[in-house]
Amino acid sequence: IMQIKINNKDVCTEASNMLELAQELNLPERGIAMALGTNMVSRDVWSTTELQEGDSVIVIKAACGG
């Protein structure tokens, strides 16, 4: 278990990569983007993008409207 920040909130996680984090957070398969630090991470590399203690993840949910 490690501590990371998700959208600037401290969170403890057992996830070792971004795909496991998305599954742990029960994120939908569509309409979600994630960044590690200031870099957007393509969904196709979530499973190989490892997380480390203290990392900062931003989760962005697509929304309709204006």
* 2-59 per-position pLDDT tens digit: 999 999 999 999 999 999 999 999 999 899 999 999 999 999 999 999 999 999 999 9
> What is the pTM for the complete model shown?
0.91
CA 30, 18, 10 angle in degrees (round to 5)? 105
Structure-token pair, residue 60: 């962005």
H or E element at residue 57: strand 56-61
Alpha helices in 1-66 (DSSP H): 18-24
